Amino acid sequence: MSFSVMLAQLVQGMLTSFEIFALTLIFSLPLGLLVAFGRMSRFWLLRNIMRIYISIMRGTPLMLQLLVVYFGPYYIFGISISAGYRFVAVIIAFSINYAAYFAEIYRAGIESIPVGQYEAAAVLGYSRSQTFFKIIFPQMVKHILPPVTNEVITLVKDTSLAFSIAVMEMFTIAKTIASSQKSMLAYVAAGLFYYVFNFIVATVMEAIEKKMSYYR
C-alpha cells in the first residue's frame, strides 16, 4: 500500500472521528445543562435520579457503556441490530457519558455565582429564566471554560474507543493498516492527526477564553 493510499484512508477515518466529536458536543452540552438543572432541583426524586445517573456514567468505563448501548436492545428487548446502528450507538453512548461530566461542571459554575446576584435580579423584577440566561449564564460560561476545554480535548482522544463496536474511525483504520502492513507508520500518522486535532481544539478554546476574560 502506497503512502498516499494509506493517508487517504486515515483521512476518511479522521472524518468519522470528527463526526463523532461534533455530534457528541451538539447533544451532550445541552443535555448536560438539563441534567445539571435536575441535579440542583428542589424535587428530591428528580435530584437523586440525576445523582445516580451521574454516578453511573462517571463510575463505569465508556467502553462498557458503548457495549451496553449497542448490544442492549438485542439482549434486553430482542430487537435486531443493524450495521447502521453502530454509529448511532456510539453517539448515544458518548453523549450520555459526556453529559454527566458537563452537568457537574455546569453545576459547579452555577453554584460559584454569589447568591446576592439572584437577589438583585429578583429586586429588579427578573424572572428565574431571565435571571439565569441574562445574568448567571454568561458568568458561568467564563468560569467553566477551562474544565470544559479539558473534557473536549479528552473527547477527541476518546473517539478511538468506537473501535470496540467496529466503527471505522481513524484509530480502527490505523490499527487495520498497521496489522496488514506490519509497520508502525500508520500509528505514527494517526498520532499526528490526533495531536493536530487536539492542538486546533485547544487553540480555539483558548481564544474563546481570552475573548471572555474580563481582564486584558
**What's the pLDDT score for residue 70?**
93
How many CA atoms are closer than 13 Å to the CA of 67, on its beta-carbon side?
6
Is 114 within 8 Å of 103 (Cβ atoms)?
no
Task: Name all domains of the chain by residue range, CATH numbers in brackets.
Answer: 3-212 (1.10.3720.10)
**What's the pLDDT score for residue 45?**
95
Is 100 within 8 Å of 35 (Cβ atoms)?
yes
Surface-to-core class of residue 68, CB atoms within 10 Å of its CB (0-12 exposed, 13-18 middle, 19+ buried): middle
**What's the pLDDT score for residue 185?**
83
Q: Which residue has the higher pLDDT, 100 or 182?
A: 100
At which residue does the C-alpha cell 486535532 appear?
197
Tell me: the pLDDT tens digits for 4-36? 777 788 888 889 999 999 999 999 999 999 999
Tell me: the pLDDT tens digits for 127-162? 888 888 888 888 888 889 889 999 999 999 999 899
For the segment 163-186, the average pLDDT, to the nearest whole number, is 82
* b (16+ CB within 10 A) / e for 176-199: ebbeeeeeeebeebbeebbeebbe
3-state secondary structure 51-112: HHHHHHHHHCCHHHHHHHHHHHHHHHHCCCCCCCHHHHHHHHHHHHHHHHHHHHHHHHHHHC
Supply the DSSP symbol for 163.
G
User: Is the Cα dihedral 180, 181, 184, 188 positive or negative?
Assistant: negative
